[in-house]
A = this chain, B = another copy of it.
Amino acid sequence: MVEQTSPQLDAIFHALGDATRRHMLRELARGERTVGQLAEPFAMSLAAASKHVRTLENAGLIRREIRGRTHLCRLEPGPLASANAWLAFYERFWTQHLDALEHALRTEGAHPSKPSRKGDDP
């Protein structure tokens, strides 16, 4: 079931709403990384990057394994799947959009039938 009022989704989408964090996720998609490794590409202090990592962790998007003095992070795909599930609800809209476009291009202004009134108030 796709929950609507969900603090989980709030945290997930909020975490994704920052390019730095999206970049970190992309990096983690390539394998495990330490906090330092994740921070390295960015022109910000380690502390700042560490906060981003924490945000990702709080959203459940990554897991952290403390190995001695280094913190090893790995991607946790579950929440991304949740976000994807939420978005999937709208999938028919953009596919439909593309379908309509394709149809319009294909028929080139032939038989102008009903202008596709689909689902207003039932």
Binding site for B on A (CB under 8 A): 4-7, 9-14, 16-19, 22-23, 25-26, 29-32, 75, 77-78, 80-81, 83-84, 86-91, 93-94, 96-97, 118-121
Contacts and interface: CB of A to CB of B under 8 A. Distances in A.
Contacts of A12: 17
Nearest to A30: B119
Majority-rule SS of A interface residues = helix
A118 B75 CA distance: 13
Contacts of A4: 19, 22-23, 26
Contacts of A86: 16, 22
A94 B121 contact: no
Given A14-B17, A16-B13, A97 B84 contact: no
Given A6-B19, A19-B6, A19-B9, A30 B93 contact: no
A78 B90 contact: no
A90 B29 contact: yes
B81 A84 contact: no
Contact of A93 (B7, B77, B83, B94): B77
A97 B80 CA distance: 12
Nearest to A122: B30
